[in-house]
Amino acid sequence: MTAAYLTKRLLLVVYTLLIVSLLVFAITQLLPADAAVTLLGQSATPEALAALRARLGLDQPAWLQFGHWLMAVLHGDLGTSMRNGLPVLGSLVDALGRSLLLAGCSLLLMLLVAIPLGIVAAVRRGRPVDLIIAMLSYIGVSLPEFVTATLLILLFADVWQLLPATGYVPLSENFVEGLRHLILPTLTVSMIMVAHVSRMVRSEMIDVLETDYIRAARLKGLSRRRVLLRHALRNGLLPTITIVALDVGYLLGGIVVVEEIFNIPGIGRELLVAVAARDLPAIQGGVLILAATYCVVNFVADLAYAYLDRRIQYA
Amino acid sequence: MPISIGEFNMRDIFYRLLASPQGLLGSLILLLAVVLVVAGPALAPFDPEAISILARYKAPSLLHWLGTDQLGRDILSRLLIGARATISLSVLATVLAMLLGALLGTASGYLGGRIDEALMRTLDAVMSIPSLLFALLIVSTLGKSDFNAVLAITIAFVPGMARIARSVALAARRQDYVNAAIARGESAAYIVVREMLPNIVAPIIVEATIRVAFAIMLFATLSFLGLGAQPPQPEWGLMVAEARRYFFQAPWMMLMPGLAIAIIAIGFNLLGDGLRDALNPKGQRS
C-alpha cells in the first residue's frame, strides 16, 4: 500500500464528508420550520423572534450560517437539540453505541451465514441445494424489514413465547436479557444482507472456480477440498470485503426501521423522532454521523482490500 | 424494422427471457402487477373504504378471501386498490431516477477527464448517505405525502443509476461510432443523447428493473414510518403499519399486505435477473 494511495483515499473521505455536510445543511435549510418559532412558540412577539434569530445567527446569509455550523461541527459541537435543549452530540453518541452493537451483531451473523451459503451454492451449482438457496435469497431480498420484523415477533414472541417482543436492555445491566432482546432485531437486520451477500459470494466463487489456476490445481491431483480451501476461498472471498462495506449503507438504513419497530433507543430512532419534531440540529447531526460511519467503514475496507490483494499478488 | 435494444432483437430477448425459470416467473408476476394496477379497482369485490362494525377482524373466509381489518374493511379490496399507489408510484420513481441518472452518467462518461472525476466523486459522496436516510431527509423537508416520497426515492436513486450508466458509457465511448460522430463534428449533446444513450440502454434497464423491487420496499417503508402515503389511503406499507397494533388478534391484517409487497418485489428481482441473462447469452452467471 503506497503513501500516495493512502493520501488520495484520505482526501476522498474528507471531500465526501464535506459534500455530505453541505447537502445535509442545504436540505435542512429548506425545511419550512422556523427555529425561532419552534423555540419560542407561536405566540411569541415579533421583537422577541427577531432578537432570537439574531442571537442564533438565523438572519445571516445561508453560506455564512453553513460556515459557522461547519466550524462548530469540526470542533465537535453539533448544536443543541430543539426538543430538550441538550447537546446533540452527547445523546447521538450514546444512541450510536447502541446502534453499532446491533449493527455489529447483524454483520457478524450475516457473514457466518452468507459466506458458507454462497460457497455451497457455488460448489453445488445447478443442483437442488443451489436452487433452494437461490429461492431463499429471492425471498430474503424481497421482504422489507418491517415485514420480517413483524413476522419474527409474531412467531417467537407470540406463538412460541420464546423471546421478548420489543424493548432494549443494556448488556452491562443484564447480559442474558440484553442478548435475548437483541436476537430478533439482529435476525431482521441481517436477513436482507444474507440474501444479497450470499448471491455475491456465489458468483465470485463460480468465477474463481472456472479460472485456469484452479483447473491446474485440480489437474495436479490436489483434492477438491484442498483446492477449495487453500486456493479458491482466498481469491473468491476478497471482493466480499468491498460488497459488505457497501452493504453497510443499507444496514444503517435498515437499522432505522428495526429500531423503531423493536423500540431500541439507537441513532435511527433518534433520527425518526428528530424528523417528526423537525429538530434541525438533531437531524443534521444524525445524518452526518451515519454518513461518517459509512465513510469510515468503506475507507477501512478499501485499505484492507488493497493490503490483502497486494499480498496475494506477491505471495 | 424490428425494435431492438443494442444489438439484440426484441423478440429474441423475449423468447430467451421466457425460456429461463426466473424470467418466466418474473414476467408472470409483472403481468399480475400490471393487471392489479390497471384493473385492481374493477376487480375489488367490496368498497375498500366501506366500514362495517359487524365484519371487524374477520379471518380469511369465502366471503372475505383475505379477511377484514379493524374497521371491517375488506383486505383483498384494499390490496387491489392500493396496488396503484404502491406499484405505479415505485415504478414512476425508478423510471425518473433512471432517466436522470442515465443522462448524468452518460454525459459524465462522455466528457471524461476532470469533470467526470469530480462528478463521480461527488456522487460517491452523496451515496454515503443511505437511501432510506436520504429519503427520510427529503420527505421531512418537503412534508409527508406519497408524491414527496416518490421524489425522495427518485433523488436517492439517481447517483446509483448514474454510476451504472457511466460505467457502461465509458465502454461505449471507445466505440467507433462515437469517434465517427466526433469526427463528423456533432455536438456533445447530440452524441450523448442520440449515439451513446440508445446503446447503453440494456444494462440500465436491467438495473432499473431490480431497483423497482427496492423502490417498492423503500416506498412501503416510508409509508410504514408514516412519511409516505397517508391514511386512510390503502397503500400496502401503510396497511402493514396500521395493522401492527392488532396483529396478535388478527395477524392476517398485517400478513396480507406484507406478502403482497414481497411477491411483487420478488417478481421484479426475478425479472431483472432474467433480463440480464437474456441480454447476455454468453454470460454464464445464471
- Say whether pLDDT at A4 is over 70: yes
Joined grid coordinates for residue B106: 452518460
Strand partners, B75: none
CB burial of residue A183 (10 Å; 0-12, 13-18, 19+): middle
Largest CA distance in chain A: 88
SS3 A160: coil
Cβ-defined contact of A294 to B130 (cutoff 8 Å): yes
SS3 B5: strand
Q: What residue spans of chain A are helical by DSSP H?
A: 3-29, 35-40, 46-56, 62-74, 88-123, 128-142, 145-152, 175-209, 212-219, 224-226, 233-262, 267-277, 280-314
Tell which B residues from 31 to 50 touch A, by Cβ distance under 8 Å.
none
Taking the Cβ of residue B228 and every Cβ of chain A, the question of whether any pair is shorter than 8 Å is answered with no
Taking the Cβ of residue A272 and every Cβ of chain B, the question of whether any pair is shorter than 8 Å is answered with yes
Cβ-defined contact of A142 to B217 (cutoff 8 Å): yes
Tell which A residues from 165 to 204 touch B, by Cβ distance under 8 Å.
203
Which of the two residues, A22 and B4, has the higher pLDDT score? A22
Cα distances (Å, whole numbers) of residue B249 to A58, B56, B57, B243: 51, 11, 8, 10
Joined grid coordinates for residue A213: 489456476
Element (H, E) at B9: strand B8-9
Q: Chain B interface, mutation test: which of A10, A82, A127, A142, most B Cβ atoms within 10 Å?
A: A142
Q: A23-78: per-residue pLDDT in tens? A: 888 887 766 556 666 666 667 777 777 777 777 667 777 788 888 888 888 888 88
Q: Chain A interface, mutation test: which of B20, B133, B259, most A Cβ atoms within 10 Å?
A: B133
- Say whether pLDDT at A10 is over 50: yes
CA B76 to centroid of chain Cα atoms: 23
Q: Chain B interface, mutation test: which of A147, A204, A278, A295, most B Cβ atoms within 10 Å?
A: A147
| The pLDDT of residue A113 | 93
- Say whether pLDDT at A106 is over 90: yes
- Say whether pLDDT at A286 is over 80: yes
Cα distances (Å, whole numbers) of residue B226 to B125, B179, B280: 28, 51, 41
What does each of the 286 residues of chain B score in pLDDT, given as a tens digit? 445 555 566 777 788 888 888 888 888 988 888 888 888 777 777 777 777 777 777 777 777 777 777 777 888 888 888 888 888 889 999 999 999 998 888 888 888 788 888 888 888 888 888 888 888 888 877 878 888 889 989 988 999 889 888 888 887 777 788 888 888 888 888 887 777 777 778 788 888 888 898 898 888 888 888 888 888 788 888 888 888 888 777 788 888 888 889 999 999 988 888 888 777 755 444 3
Taking the Cβ of residue B140 and every Cβ of chain A, the question of whether any pair is shorter than 8 Å is answered with yes
- Say whether pLDDT at A178 is over 70: yes
CA A134, A138, A142 angle in degrees (round to 5)?
Answer: 165
Instruction: Report DSSP letters for A78-118, one per residue.
Output: --B-TTT-SBHHHHHHHHHHHHHHHHHHHHHHHHHHHHHHH
d(CA A138, CA B267): 9
pLDDT band at A314 (very low <50, low <70, confident <90, very high): very low
A18–chain B nearest CA distance, Å: 9
SS3 B74: strand
- Say whether pLDDT at A224 is over 80: no
Closest CA to B18 of B10, A130, A132: B10
Cβ-defined contact of B265 to A283 (cutoff 8 Å): no
pLDDT band at A229 (very low <50, low <70, confident <90, very high): confident
Q: Which of B125, B126, B141 comes nearest A31 by C-beta?
A: B141
Joined grid coordinates for residue B15: 423468447
Q: What is the CA radius of gyration of chain B?
A: 22
Taking the Cβ of residue A273 and every Cβ of chain B, the question of whether any pair is shorter than 8 Å is answered with no
CA B62, B67, B73 angle in degrees (round to 5)?
Answer: 115
CA B41, B47, B52 angle in degrees (round to 5)?
Answer: 155
| The pLDDT of residue A102 | 92
Tell which B residues from 166 to 205 touch A, by Cβ distance under 8 Å.
none
| The pLDDT of residue B240 | 85
Question: Nearest-CA residue of chain B relative to A296?
Answer: B128
Joined grid coordinates for residue B85: 399507489
CB burial of residue A161 (10 Å; 0-12, 13-18, 19+): exposed
Question: Nearest-CA residue of chain A relative to B268?
Answer: A142
CA B99, B102, B108 angle in degrees (round to 5)?
Answer: 140
Taking the Cβ of residue B129 and every Cβ of chain A, the question of whether any pair is shorter than 8 Å is answered with yes
| The pLDDT of residue B4 | 56
SS3 B57: coil
What pTM value is reported for the model?
A: 0.85
